[in-house]
Amino acid sequence: MICEKCNLNQARINIVKIINGKKTSMNLCEQCAQLYENILIDNIGNKNVDDFIMSIYEAIYDPAHDYEHTLQCNVCGLTLEGFKNTGRLGCDSCYHTFRTQLDVVLEKVQGKNIHIGKIPKRTGGVIEIKKQILNLKKELNEKVEKEEFEEAATIRDEIKRLERTLPEVK
């Protein structure tokens, strides 16, 4: 397969982006992949996931925020510099300590900083409806805050309709 960017070299890297539920895929040669969205990656073929995440972190790190180097986990003592060097967190408390920095990295890698995951088909119906209701309730609150009452009423009606489809809980 030929690189989709330069149309010259053999494509060896497939980059997949999922943004707002829309999946796009691009096949690139190593040279074009290194320049892709200003992410510089050395020896792409030999990188593991930790190295890849750290290369992205380094590409987006802002040295103007030197205070970040003083961050340290209260439980395990891991510093941001230690995380940067290893690409691994020391404990579950590190996720809270380094949340701001992790959010930036995760959004750059995945397009979002939350895990949506997959739902098993045999139980997914109810879970999917509850998820839709939760999202609609958030949207309803936004519409009410903006005083867009007609749209809010439509959303309210949709929430009620979905709630009627849920099985009774005993």
Tens digits of per-residue pLDDT, 52-100? 666 665 655 555 555 555 678 889 988 888 887 777 888 888 888 888 8
Q: 61-96: b or e for each residue (b if 16 or more CB lie within 10 Å)? A: beeeeeebeebbbeeeebbbebbbeebebbeeebee
Calpha distance 100→146 (Å, rounded): 29
CATH number, residue 5: 3.30.60
For 142, the 3-state DSSP assignment is helix
Residue 62, in any domain of the structure: yes
Q: What is the Rg, in whole angstroms, of the alpha carbon atoms belonging to the chain?
A: 22
Higher pLDDT, 154 or 128: 154
Q: Over the stretch 97-110, which tens digit does the pLDDT of each residue have?
A: 888 878 777 777 66
The verdict on 4 and 55 lying in the same domain is: no
For the cut 70, the answer to whether the pLDDT of residue 29 exceeds it is yes
The verdict on 132 and 157 lying in the same domain is: yes
For the cut 80, the answer to whether the pLDDT of residue 17 exceeds it is no
Q: What pTM value is reported for the model?
A: 0.35
Calpha distance 55→46 (Å, rounded): 13
DSSP run (H or E) holding 53: helix 49-60
Residue 170, in any domain of the structure: no
Write out the residue range of the structural domain in which residue 37 sits.
1-45
**Average pLDDT over every residue of 32-40:** 62
Please report which confidence band the pLDDT of residue 119 belongs to, taking 50, 70 and 90 as the band edges: low
Q: Provide the phi-psi class of 92: left if phi over 0, else alpha when psi is between -120 and 50, else beta.
A: alpha
The verdict on 102 and 91 lying in the same domain is: yes
Q: pLDDT averaged over the chain?
A: 76
Calpha distance 20→39 (Å, rounded): 21
Calpha distance 93→78 (Å, rounded): 10
Q: What is the pLDDT of residue 118?
A: 66
Q: What is the pLDDT of residue 23?
A: 82
Please report which confidence band the pLDDT of residue 155 belongs to, taking 50, 70 and 90 as the band edges: very high
